[in-house]
Amino acid sequence: MLVQHFIDRKARQLAYYMRSYWQNELPYAELECFLWDTFEEWSQVKNQKTQPYSHKERIFWHVLHQTHYWEEPRLRNDECIKTQLSMCISFLEGQGLCPLDVVGIRP
């Protein structure tokens, strides 16, 4: 599987999970399970190191890492975190501008 194919598929899912979580339609445990599953699936992608990054991939990894990093109450209630991640998610969905000050890296 190509890196870009993985990112395209998982970015849609990540956006869905984050929006559902913020709308209280998804428990935090399920969001966390998705994050771990994504990290595990990433380990199956071949030639990760030889394929170049895209803006979408950098934003994807940033959102994934931030979602994993912040504790549940901060992720749900901190307006700064939610605003920044929402902008990133909009970009992943093709509805917003690329936040150029965000740089995520592959695990």
Q: Domain residues for 28? A: 3-44+58-92
- Enter the pTM of the model: 0.93
Cβ neighbors of 78 (< 8 A, separation 6 or more) are 70
Give a yes or no: residue 99 inside a domain.
no
pLDDT tens for 79-89 read 999 999 999 99
Task: Give a yes or no: residue 65 inside a domain.
Answer: yes
**Pair of tokens at residue 12:** 């849609």
Judge whether 49 lies within some domain: no
- CA separation for the pair 98, 88 (Å, rounded): 7
Tell me if 83 is assigned to some domain.
yes
Q: Number of structural domains, the chain?
A: 1
Tell me if 9 is assigned to some domain.
Answer: yes
Specify if 74 maps to a domain. Answer: yes
Q: Is residue 11 part of a domain?
A: yes
Q: What are phi and psi for residue 32, nearest 5 degrees?
A: -60, -40
Domain-embedded: residue 71: yes
Residue 1 burial (CB count, 10 A): 11
Model pLDDT for residues 41-64, shown as the tens digit of each residue: 999 998 878 888 999 999 999 999
